[in-house]
Amino acid sequence: MPTDMSAPMGQEISQSYRGLLTERIARQLEHDIRSGDIRVGAKLPSERELAAKFGASRNVVREVLRRLEAQHLIEVAPGRGSFVREQSSQHARSYDALYRAGRPTVRQLIEARIPLEVEIVGLATQRADEAQLAVIGQANDALLKATDVVDKAHADLDFHDAIAQASGNPVLRIMLSSISGMMFEMMLRSHSDPSIGEPGVPHHAEIFEAIAARDVERARNYMHEHLTLGLRTYGKDLDVSVDVMARQHIETLLSQSKNRG
């Protein structure tokens, strides 16, 4: 298993490798907690023990624990350690957990995103104010400037969320947010696969230009083309579960990043 501690002595691990390793560990612990493999009230191993188990630095482990705490999955008691929190019905039955229980495939996620985001972008094109347009533009700029696959995926997610916020419909934004975890995992793959950048397909810049021009039909068409690209380029990954695709792809990216280091 590739680890950040296996990097050559005296050589810093790449930002990309660290980000991917953080994603892998966080996904594993979140799965273990939500599935009940780690029971409510259980104390997590110490930072040192988690670092040894996952072959990661303690800084990476601390980043993972901060994320789990922000998700209300654990409670960190100073001097005592980290404990799994009792989940409210809202947290225990989060939409993300319900979706994943059904083992949705990449194709099914794309099929769900198309009608949802085409409607969202149409409303955003009609309703976005200047401040919201600026936020969408900033997310697009951040994606263009990002060089690391994890940063690209985060910027990609921010772009789609900014459009949802500009739609003026909080229900639609919450619906999109409920699948954002799986979207992020798809985006990791998209931004590390050259075939996804198929020539002639509208991407974020074209979508943003259509929104700014208040051209509803063009914005909707561009979003539809942008989302259906995956149906042509994901190949055999289309009909595997999002979880399996993400796990396999993160491992591949970790291995590649380690070898480049």
Structure tokens at 49: 């023990």
For the record, the structure tokens of 230 come out as: 């995956």
- Summarised one tens digit per residue, pLDDT across range 10-25 is 334 577 788 888 988 9
Over its C-alpha atoms, the chain yields an Rg (Å, rounded) of: 19
What is the dihedral angle through the alpha carbons of 19, 95, 158, 234, rounded to the nearest 10 degrees?
70
> What is the spatial distance between Cα 20 and Cα 55, in angstroms, rounded to a whole number?
13
Q: Residue 87 is which amino acid?
A: Q
Q: What are phi and psi of 158, to 5 degrees?
A: -60, -40
Whole-angstrom CA distances from 34 to 43, 53, 104, 153, 257 are: 15, 20, 17, 24, 29
Q: Where are the beta strands (DSSP E) in the chain?
A: 74-77, 81-84
By CB atoms closer than 10 A (0-12, 13-18, 19+), residue 102 is: exposed
Closest Cα partner for 131 from 174, 175, 158, 165?
Answer: 165
Task: Read off the pLDDT band of 197 (50, 70, 90).
Answer: low
Give the residue among 54, 31, 6 at the shortest CA–CA distance from 246.
31
Q: Name the more confident of 176 and 250.
A: 176
Nearest to 153 by CA among 118, 125, 180: 180
Please name the amino acid found at residue 173.
R
Query: What is each CA distance from 53 to 11, 15, 130, 229, in whole angstroms?
Result: 22, 21, 49, 39
Tell me the pLDDT tens digit for each residue of 221-243: 999 999 999 898 888 889 999 98
Residue 132's pLDDT band (cuts 50, 70, 90): very high
pLDDT band at 70 (very low <50, low <70, confident <90, very high): confident
